Chains A and B, each alone.
Chain A
């Protein structure tokens, strides 16, 4: 059964909220996947080169599955969703659009992101909407490795040398508040609670994520930035982005835009 035929999703406001929510998750996966793919050929060793390329393919594959669900609800073409929109129409959190920077930042972001993604998928997998719950369970199988990979690298970088430790601490100071913003609600997200699509509210999800992350970080002697944030994090879930997203899309979509609608 396609999502469009699900009775619980007939009210237009519920449908719109679900479209916005799935688009946010799909955009996160596509953009973080693209960032990982930028390490192909440049990672610190050949093992990580292969691993990052492989993880990138998986994230982009997940984005594809999610765009297909969005297209079931909203109409349109999954490829056009991925490649045919401008930066203002993207709903990813700004954490994933940040340039890779050094290896320490990429690994720190990956660790925070994939642990957050796991919490998010768990919430979706526990919902009453079978097609979405099944999808979340499928994605979760691959995400488990991403989570282990990011965490094991982070643990080693944090403990290796003063230099590597200070780099991941600096990365964490930047990435932590932006990672929290992964849980920022989309417009109308609370309407997904009643039909059982997404029974876990954002505050509970953030808490679950912190409960998993904090022991990992304190175990390796990293500290979570506290106190007032320097600048508010742009709300990617409502289309606010940094200039980095436009640059990323310019490159990522150049082939698609050269011949829209072409079959490759």
Chain B
């Protein structure tokens, strides 16, 4: 299991000072990765992230995580996500109730 920073060619020293910033727009949303900040520690990263990523868009919460702490699936391992046989039974898209829930979202272009 490689470190994400290794995969993208970041030195360990660099990786501990680059923080991925995750913003939550409302309490009903998941935290989404919106960008990165340079900082010497997590507390400072939060201070900087507030002004970089929450000064315009709505925000109720921020997370910061140093790149050195992110483990990633190996990029040459993409095969592992491919299905070898038909798995359409897993999607459950033919349930009427699910179509009712999904439809309005699709109309919004999501």
Interface residues of A, Cβ cutoff 8 Å to B: 45-48, 50-51, 54-55, 145, 148-149, 152-153, 156, 160
Contact = CB atoms under 8 A, between A and B. Distances in A.
Nearest to B37: A47
Interface in B1-60: 37-41, 43-44, 47-48, 50-52, 55
A141 to B, nearest CB: 13
Interface of B: 37-41, 43-44, 47-48, 50-52, 55
22 contacts: A45-B38, A46-B38, A47-B37, A47-B38, A47-B39, A47-B51, A50-B51, A50-B52, A51-B48, A51-B51, A55-B51, A145-B50, A145-B51, A148-B47, A149-B47, A149-B51, A152-B43, A152-B44, A152-B47, A153-B44, A156-B41, A156-B44
A46 B50 CA distance: 14
The prevalent SS among residues of A at the interface is: helix
Nearest to A148: B47
B55 A54 contact: yes
Contacts of B50: 145
A52 B48 CA distance: 10
Nearest to B36: A47
A47 B43 contact: no
Nearest to B49: A47
A156 B40 contact: yes
A48 B48 contact: yes
Nearest to A46: B38
